[in-house]
Structure 1
């Protein structure tokens, strides 16, 4: 056992104690002490992405799927800057992520010398795109900084935290610390009097609904107690699977359709748990929700955001719901017709979605039939996801859905790689399926080489219409069908995949959906299923951006 280690090795050992089994990044002269420690110790699988943006998206997805700390390692300057957009995505999604970036030698820092890889305001940039950012200035404070960064990443609202480590500090020797464990993060305990007040308000409700967001993903067992009392459930996109979406009491994320709003109008209470009630999931805050609206959130700043609430309880979702259930079980008389009404609303909403898809119903149903519920469902911002991917297929696990929540395209492929690596490293035994568009796919297409090298077990549904389909629809809707800058030159994807050693299957006939998806499911490693949208034809209805409520 060595008694002296480098700061780079200290970082590796600390991450091991955090339960990290895989990290993602791009090797550089300014992060080699850290990555050398990964390599020598052999405890953390390091995935060599083709770009820092992809690496950060991979780490984000890894954290979302496992519930553990995501780790991304980049170079300084341009390398760190390349990760900025992906850090914004992780911040939007509330992902606990640690971004370790190099920095130039301490002697030349902050002197604006034009030193190689120097970015004079790098720390400020990282503070702007994440939850926090630190610089380790000497070996003695390295562990304290690592611990505090990990603690902040896991403290609600969770998010990415960056640490700059100058290259000379990474190589500095220090005594091996006796204690390397991360700092504990205590769940936010609700005030008992606030829980009692909420219980008093809810006890008389006859038709109560839970609206579950991403902050409720660790509260499935507590939520089940409310379902057993007869409550109905609706979720945000980020909250999908907290209750299995084939449960009779679950409306799923069909939260925008007229049938859902009509259901809300019959309810006398809605309890929103861990959700921001985001604009695109509430018709820009004009979706009519029950007047008796209550909220539980671990972020105290969530109170009255977007919608006013009659009562707000600050607390961890699981602990607060369990405390509330203790006071409500056996004391509520929920309308026994509520669950049936939820089922009918869901069926009507699903029918409305299907009616807009045309031939693409075959693909939606084919994914469900082939992969069942045991899949990781990863989606990029693409027309097909907006039309159906955010609602279907049925998810039965609170971490099964991974979506580019911030609205940026081109992140789906990298997220799928991170998800597949997470599944392999943690033995989760679900198949990773990604829904992406050709425009977004080309943005980070180099990561397909990473997927092949890592033998990432994933299926990519590549929706190829050779254009930015949503933008074209918006131009039809708002700009007199002036189609500017939306047509895309794309490669022959079969040849491109062959050049990398990735399997490619063409799906140019809706009738062949079952056969082609079965072939894809039987293969291992990365498989690209190219859906030729020119051959399939248009959707029956046009989607032209987030739905807005009309007066």
Structure 2
């Protein structure tokens, strides 16, 4: 093919592995790649208004379809701008490919002050990515692209940055014949040590009251977890593990993994099987949550052993394969007590009602939103009081790809995550619950939402500032709310400027009517919830245990 260059290779490679959409900001050091995407017209490029937003969109896209998300940035300042989004995708275990440029190879690593030349850009990217790769030889380009995909998709998954100097992007090459037959690499997880499996089998056989804690690494082991339920296992999940089975299942306690009622319940259990979860401090009160005495952990990451909780047995292996093997071994050997099933179901109902009664004016919000959002819709949240209180727990999730939020607990990614999720889920509705403070961090991308006509309802919980931060200041800093009160725009005017439909809720009773109208509209809608008028948000923040030590 005449005038075929490395930029063309990148574009064709992505098309051949079935990438349909990419996100980014066009700039001097990525034009050859984006020019190829534009000329070939097989892939849609979503032009974000900033690299941080573009990165979060690629992350939301990856999570919403359980596949690759792709973002393009420039080099130097552009690559630095995407850092927060790469960090979030690392937290979430998202398979994101980040393509960035570099100064020409003759100027590399010489600090000569060429355009966008930043010292040790690859080192910066390596510190935040699962891996950072430089393609500085055109003959190695395809091999390194395949390798980058493999790293991003191999559990524990994560973002990979690919740095290609501008002269390499322009380099003329012969089109590789391998492109005609290329596909995403097959990732073959290991079953692990059989002796270890024997021990786990015996733990299960000797246990009557047992629960499985499912994390991000096992959230797609749906059929296997359903079979564990049939063997009498109750299910609890990390926030990331939600949707492994429908949370309407009477044996699924969802992400109510640390409420007082369930902590008491843990004390009565013979066994907790932890699968694909780090039991991270953020969800276990910095590892002070009391878990059952017998803990068995299954994880693909060998370094997870005893990282947060000391376990009786650790097994290194692929969660889905290990669970399937255990089901095979235990088939017909486990009896299930109906009284136990009724006990778990009753506990679930008590937890739900107890929690609902804490929500004050917002007690009906989760149920109303769940009833209005189509069953296959995406439930995206930013870090807000509403999400911390009920968005992460109360609104039932049916599938892991519906559950998208900032795992790293950053304020602000919600809007962009929702845009990416919506574009990955054409024909399905997305609701994105954001706080007014976090919403402003990526506000230019309202125009990205409008330009792409993405099918998102932005539910902005407006309490005139950083409500989450104010709760922390109340709890730990004697109520001194320095710098958390913000001047926010008139959201109706903002929506009008972005050519977006707008609605407002001043009373809790109006949520159902207004949200129904917004969800039935095809395209982006900004719905402002006047938190000051609806009622004060419940107090959710409790100081972490280390702050209470003398």
Q: Which shifted more, 232-241 or 40-49?
A: 40-49
How far 1:547 moved relative to its partner?
Answer: 6.2
Q: Compute the displacement of 1:355 (Å).
A: 2.1
State the TM-score, normalizing by the size of structure 1: 0.96
Match of 1:528 in 2: 526
Give the TM-score, by structure 2 length.
Answer: 0.96
1:197 paired residue number: 199
Structure 1: how far apart are the matches of 2:544 and 2:18? 41
Query: 1:148-183: CA deviations, max 9, x gaps?
Result: 111111122111110110111101111111113244
> 4+ residue stretches of structure 1 with deviation over 3 A?
545-551
1:156 aligns with 155
| 2:379 partner SS | strand
Shift of 1:235: 0.5
- Of the three residues 353, 365, 375, the one matched with 1:351 is 353
Is 307-316 or 50-59 further displaced after alignment? Answer: 307-316
Give the CA deviation at 1:548.
4.9
Separation of aligned partners in 2, 1:473 and 1:179: 57
What RMSD in Å do the two structures reach over aligned CA positions? 1.5
Partner residue of 1:382 out of 374, 381, 384: 384
- Equivalent of 1:223 in 222, 225, 229: 225
State yes or no: 1:444 paired with 2:446.
Answer: no
Give the structure 1 partner of residue 87 of structure 2: 88
* Aligned residues of 1:190 and 1:319 also touching (Cα < 8 A): no
Distance 2:407 2:421 in 1: 15
After superposition, the Cα gap between the structure-2 partners of 1:265 and 1:545, relative to the gap in structure 1 and judged at 3 Å, is: closer
Q: Mapping of 1:151-550 within 5 angstroms?
A: 151-180=150-179, 181=182, 182-424=184-426, 429-539=427-537, 541-544=538-541, 548=545
Work out the CA distance in 1 between the residues paired with 2:456 and 2:337.
44
Residue number in structure 1 paired with 2:145: 146
Distance 1:188 1:96 in 2: 19
SS of aligned partner of 1:184: coil
Measured after TM superposition, the shift of residue 352 of structure 1 is: 2.6
Hey, what does 1:79 align to over in structure 2?
78
1:230-287 Cα shifts (integer Å, max 9, x gaps): 2110011000000100001100111111111122112101101100111121121111
User: What is the correspondence of 1:51-62 to structure 2 with a 5 Å cutoff?
Assistant: 51-62=50-61
Q: Which moved more, 1:356-365 or 1:167-176?
A: 356-365
Distance 1:382 1:488 in 2: 15
Q: Which structure 1 residue ranges, 5 or more long, are not aligned? A: none
- The alpha-carbon deviation at position 290 of structure 1 amounts to 1.0
How many residue pairs were aligned?
Answer: 545
Q: Return the offset for 1:546.
A: 6.5
Structure 2 CA distance, aligned partners of 1:104 and 1:169?
10
CA distance in 2, matches of 1:365, 1:98: 36
CA distance in 1 between counterparts of 2:496 and 2:345 reads 46
Q: Alpha-carbon deviation of 1:394?
A: 0.7
SS in 2 for 1:173: coil
Gaps of 5+ in 2: none
1:19 and 1:69 in contact (8 A); partners too: no
